[in-house]
Structures are given as C-alpha cells and as structure tokens.
Structure 1
C-alpha cells in the first residue's frame, strides 16, 4: 500500500507525545502528529514536514513502523506510521492542535484517541527498542 498520509510517535523513555486534533478529521481526538502527503513527497519527507509544521520539533532518524488504513466517515487514508526518540520538550503547536501532552505509554488508553493508538504506541516502542514499555 502506498501511503497518502504520515504520522509519528515521539518517545522519551516511557513517555510518548500525543496531540489533540483541533479540526476534522479526528476533531478532539488524541493521536500522533502528522498529516497528508503533498504531491511528489516521500513518506519520510512528509512526516518530517508535518511534525515541524504542527509542533516545530525536528527529528533526524525516524523509523517507519507500519502502514494502516484510517478514516473518519466516508474518507479514509493510507497512513505510514513512524517512530523516533525525542528529547522531552514543549512543542510550539500550530492552530491544528488544541492540546498536547507527554503521556506514559500505559496511560494512552485513558485518552480519547484515534483507533488502536495504544497498540500502535507499543508497536512503535518495540521498534525503537524501548524494553521498559514492552507489554
């Protein structure tokens, strides 16, 4: 499957950065930073651009973890999910984000998230070799 959108899980130890969407799709839901690919853009370029646009955070070596189909209503996207280590800091968020939080990986399920986010968080953590967050 060729992705048309990308997102990224940023980890600092057993904490993951979640953002709350200010607009549809996924209005009010907590998820990873990310968005739609632009014409001619690679998934890696997309995820770095979207992360910077939404949070002003820069990362150097994200790992693509999985590709999944996500959607809301009649619209669906093929989403490439990346993961990376990131120093814990305060993002400078765009208007697309209503809130953000560094969340312990075991507390993700207590947030109103996009589908399967808690499982995706654990999968990303495993790809990054974060043994302390394995199930």
Structure 2
C-alpha cells in the first residue's frame, strides 16, 4: 500500500491548490492530500485530507491512478490520485490561509506550463490525464528524481486487480 493521497479539485478551468508551509515541496503549489493513517483506505484518507485542509465535504472522489517515484538513494514511494469536480455553488472563496498553507484557485494552463517553477513539477506531467477521465484511463505515473529534479518520467497501465482493489 502506498503512503499518500492527492486530490485535484477542479472548478471551471481552475484547480484548488495549496502553497505548502512545510516539506516536501515547501513554498510550491500542490493539490490537496496527505498521509494515510493506519488502517485507513485511500478514499477515506483523501476525503479526510480535503475536509481538514479546505473544509469541503466531498463524496465519491474519482480514482485516477497513482504517482510513484524513486528519490535518490531511497525506496520507491507513491500516492493515490483522485479527481473532484465542484459546481460553482460549492466553490470556496480564496485565497485563504490555513495551518497547512495558502489555498487558492490556479488556472490549469498555469499549472501545466513548462516554464512554471511555482508548482510541484510532477503536476505538469500527470494533470492532463487526471483531468480527462473520458479519454485517459487511470494509470501509474512514475518519476525518477535526482534531488528535486525529475530526470525521467513514464506512464504505465495499471493492472486491473490494482485498479479496483486500491481505489476504495
């Protein structure tokens, strides 16, 4: 089982993001998520993290796969990825300061821009697939790092048993 979850919360052409107060990726904009607690399922974790970090109650986040990475000299790590689409009436106001960082809506084009150094760099690779579930099935997005720099990326199909057994 992986240790983390990440939610991409979309409304219009924007994503609700947090500018992180602490490592990893301190000072960068990222989706909403966090660490699984003992005995917690990924979907329970992501809905809890969304509530804790944004005050939003979400039902049935859409499972979109996993992100995995190999930090230099460390074992494989990863997170479960989810998509939540909000209606305008559910869209929280921003910016807002929280204990985790600053929440704000960011344009999707800004997040995925190659010259953007303000967002966590893995987002530009996985965001287009996550945001288009009708075209792209859930997948594994694998990243190899040297320090904080991505040196290779690979998109892999998820085995069917992993797709269904890890989404709840």
Provide TM-score, normalisation by structure 2: 0.66
Note the residue ranges of structure 1 that are not aligned, 5 or more in a row.
130-135
State the distance in 1 between where 2:57 and 2:71 align.
Answer: 28
Name the residue aligned to 1:37. 36
1:112 aligns with 2:118: yes
How far the C-alpha of 1:76 sits from its partner, in A, is: 6.2
CA drift of 1:82 comes to 0.5
Distance 1:10 1:41 in 2: 21
Q: Could you tell me which residue of structure 1 aligns to residue 147 of structure 2?
A: none
- Could you tell me which residue of structure 2 aligns to residue 80 of structure 1? 80
The superposition leaves residues 19-55 of structure 1 with CA deviations (integer Å, 9 ceiling, x where unpaired) of 1110112111111011100000000000001111111
Measured on the aligned residues, the alpha-carbon RMSD in Å equals 2.3
Q: Secondary structure at the match of 1:127?
A: coil
Q: Distance in 2 between matches of 1:33 and 1:44?
A: 13
Distance 1:4 1:40 in 2: 11
Q: Which residue of 2 aligns with 1:95?
A: 99
Give the conservation status (yes or no) of the 8 Å contact 1:54–1:93. no
Return closer, same or farther for 1:76/1:28 CA change in 2, 3 Å cut-off.
Answer: farther
Mapped partners of 1:25, 1:105: distance in 2: 22
Q: How many residues align?
A: 127
Which protein shows a greater Rg?
A: 2
Secondary structure of the residue aligned to 2:132 is helix
Higher relative CO (CA 8 A, sep ≥ 6), structure 1 or 2?
1
Partner of 2:25: 26
Q: Which runs of 5+ in 2 are unaligned?
A: 136-168
Matches of 1:116 and 1:94 in 2, distance apart?
A: 23
CA distance 1:125–1:22, shift in 2 (3 Å): same
Alpha-carbon separation, structure 2, partners of 1:46 and 1:89 = 21
For the Cα contact (< 8 Å) 1:25–1:72, is it kept in 2? no
**Match status 1:123 vs 2:129:** yes
